[in-house]
Copies of this chain bind each other. A is one copy, B any other.
Amino acid sequence: MLGLSRRQAEILAFLREREPTEHAPTLDEVCEALGLRSRGSLHKHVRALQAAGLVRPGANGRGLQLCDPDADPEDTLPVLGRIAAGQPIEAIDQQQHLAVPSILRGRGQSYVLRVDGDSMIDEGILDGDWVVVEHRDTARNGELVVALVDDENATLKRFQLDGAEVVLHAANAAYEPQRYPADRVQIQGVIVGQMRRY
């Protein structure tokens, strides 16, 4: 077996017995079901199960659900936030997942950002669009990137390395290219897909 303690196995069994459309139970609900009186106690076990990759929080960041690699037929990626030029990525108010066809993804781990603003309209990326971002920390010249400047401000731009400087080009004549010493800029990811709904 997996070397689970008795209580850990009980937690997994409890989750397995739930219907798939039932909500992810909170720690309180799991406690009540298993006869525990303290979420703190439960949490120790949950932490071990999370470390083992067997459970994770529900879609809203709360509660507990099984990690079942077969149980996610929906081909979704997490929506991590909204991105506008020069501001921190604004976390969305609720954990969301978006169905993204595999054809729009890169080979690595990906996530989705929602675009705020018009700085990339000449690239056909409009306010409100979703962009699929592949986790990468390097980019080639000309690639569209999510770049973090001074560990703080994220922006969606076209990347260019010019000697020891990084040039971040908007795709909108109203905005000037931004130049930074390369060590102030971190590439957080590269755009590999884009979607829009009308």
Mark A residues whose CB is within 8 Å of B.
Answer: 1-10, 12-13, 15, 18, 20-24, 26, 44, 47-48, 51-53, 56-60, 62-63, 65-66, 68, 71, 74-76, 79, 93-104, 121-126, 129, 143-144, 190-198
Contacts and interface: CB of A to CB of B under 8 A. Distances in A.
Copies of this chain: 2
Contacts of A26: 6
25 contacts: A1-B18, A1-B24, A1-B68, A2-B65, A3-B57, A3-B58, A3-B63, A4-B24, A4-B58, A4-B59, A5-B59, A5-B63, A7-B23, A13-B21, A48-B60, A98-B103, A101-B101, A101-B195, A121-B122, A124-B124, A144-B198, A193-B195, A193-B198, A194-B196, A194-B198
A117 to B, nearest CB: 13
A79 to B, nearest CB: 7
Contacts of A193: 195-198
Contacts of A123: 126
Contacts of A1: 15, 18, 20, 24, 65-66, 68, 71
Given A1-B24, A2-B59, 16 more contacts: A1-B18, A1-B20, A3-B24, A3-B58, A3-B63, A4-B21, A9-B23, A51-B79, A51-B98, A53-B74, A53-B99, A99-B101, A100-B101, A103-B197, A143-B198, A193-B195
Task: Name the residue among A95, A100, A195, A198 with the largest chain B CB count within 10 angstroms.
Answer: A198
A28 B56 CA distance: 32
